[in-house]
Structure 1
Amino acid sequence: MSQVTVYVEDQQRALDFWAGKMGFTITRDMPYGENRWIEVEPPAGGTRLVVTKADPQWPTLVKDTPNYVLFHADDIVKTHEELAARGVEFTQAPTQQPWGWSAVFKDDEGNLFHLGQR
């Protein structure tokens, strides 16, 4: 998989979150119609996020329910501490699950994501 799309209301606010707080690299930021085509990549590389302006007529995800994007951490406790210190809001701190560790964080657009460690 090379890309996953994240729908947002404010592309600049989302870019500030992913590049600033999460430490992702901006790999593409260019005009795209009335909006922008923005791609960001995790610090260790891998699947890029495409930060796309959501159309107000599209259905939205169920609020307060994490989407199915899972980020991996080698040390979830350390990663949680580092991201929280940068201002990333966690709705669930790292907890032990039968399959490994899990945490949930919120971007500045209100989208929820999983952080996991096996």
Structure 2
Amino acid sequence: MINIASAQLWVHDQDQALAFYTEKLGMEVRSDVTMAEMGDFRWLTVGPPGEDGVSIVLMAIPGEPVLDDQTAESVRELMSKGFAGAIFLTTDDCRASYEQLKARGVEFTEAPEERPYGIDCGFRDPSGNSFRLTQVRGDL
């Protein structure tokens, strides 16, 4: 069987992303390692408490030789429009989670709304990555 271990999101600032994901979304740090031998490359991952097998890599946009300047700028532009990555989260109570996250300073792009599959809302992280928070209907 093949399992998903992690998903990657581009971030503008790893420290800012770390604060957002841990302090506002309530995730925990899985790894935070800086490798001097790789030009101080930082491997930073977070994940939801209790789901040890899944993590989100908070990846800084690399420069040469990984990405040329034009490609890196294209990634930044897509991020600013919310099109460089998306994470889908589920919750037992979308409206309560919305209020809790809003109180922590998460800025939502859409308030909770009834959909054919349940109750759904959207927000973005400080780097522009899109999130959907969904309370899935019980009969699906």
Identity %: 34
Q: Is 1:106 paired with 2:124?
A: yes
Distance (whole Å) between structure 1 residues aligned to residue 30 and residue 56 of structure 2: 10
More strand by share: 1
- Give 1:66 shift: 8.2
2:17 is matched with which residue: 5, 14, 30?
14
1:81 is matched with which residue: 99, 120, 130?
99
- Give 1:84 shift: 0.5
Contact kept, 8 Å, 2:9 with 2:85, in 1: the verdict is: no
- Give 1:68 shift: 3.5
Structure 2 length-normalised TM: 0.76
- Give 1:10 shift: 0.6
Name the amino acid aligned to 2:29.
I
More helix by share: 2
Aligned length: 118
Q: Is 1:24 paired with 2:24?
A: no
Structure 1 length-normalised TM: 0.89
- Give 1:64 shift: 4.0
- Give 1:44 shift: 3.8
Contact kept, 8 Å, 1:66 with 1:114, in 2: the verdict is: no
CA RMSD of aligned residues (A): 1.8
Distance (whole Å) between structure 2 residues aligned to residue 28 and residue 67 of structure 1: 21
Q: Is 1:38 paired with 2:44?
A: yes
- Give 1:49 shift: 0.5
- Structure 1's consecutive aligned runs of 4 or more residues displaced over 6 angstroms after TM superposition are none
Distance (whole Å) between structure 1 residues aligned to residue 87 and residue 134 of structure 2: 10
Matched residue, 1:53 = 60
